[in-house]
Amino acid sequence: MEATIVTGSDLVEDLLRKKIKEYLIRGGFNLKIAIPVSDKSAQATIFQSFGRAPYFMITDTETNERVFLDNTAADSQGGAGIKAVQIIIDKNIDVLFTPRCGENAAEVLREANVKIYKTINESVEDNVNAFNLGQLSLLDHIHPGFHGHEK
């Protein structure tokens, strides 16, 4: 028989997934989700860089309404992640879906109580559905950031 080691963070993540699924099924609370996307369309794909995404799709879990925000930080010479975080915070976002996030942006998001989830692919719908089923994982690999070296 193979032993399974379960850590405290595994238990917390599992509990969060179950609670999210339970609340969403019951319609128990409303969340605003931000997703960095490539364009302003229903078929938009998830952009690989949070701070450099041209747009953010904002999804309201209560109304299923989706709106798009221009990411004015995308063309910044430096600090795009931090500037993008300010856009997210100003819109009272609860959750961010992204493939990756730099350490400075992640720290500010955490301080603002924005939960960061790792996307499973480039499909907005796949990720929203996975989240609703409690199948998205919190982003646990935060990269050091590019600090002006990538655009």
Task: Show me where the domains of the chain are located.
Answer: 30-132
Up-side HSE of residue 26: CA atoms within 13 Å toward CB? 8
User: Each residue of 29-46: pLDDT tens digit?
Assistant: 688 999 999 999 988 999
Quote the pLDDT of residue 85.
Answer: 95
Strand order in the sheet with 66-70: 66-70, 55-60, 32-37, 95-98, 115-118
User: Each residue of 56-112: pLDDT tens digit?
Assistant: 999 998 888 999 999 999 998 888 999 999 999 999 999 999 999 999 999 999 999
Give Cα separations from 37 to 56, 101, 119, 124, 127 (angstroms). Answer: 6, 14, 12, 8, 12
pTM for this structure? 0.77
Q: What is the CATH number of domain 30-132?
A: 3.30.420.130
Q: 97 - beta bridge partners?
A: 117
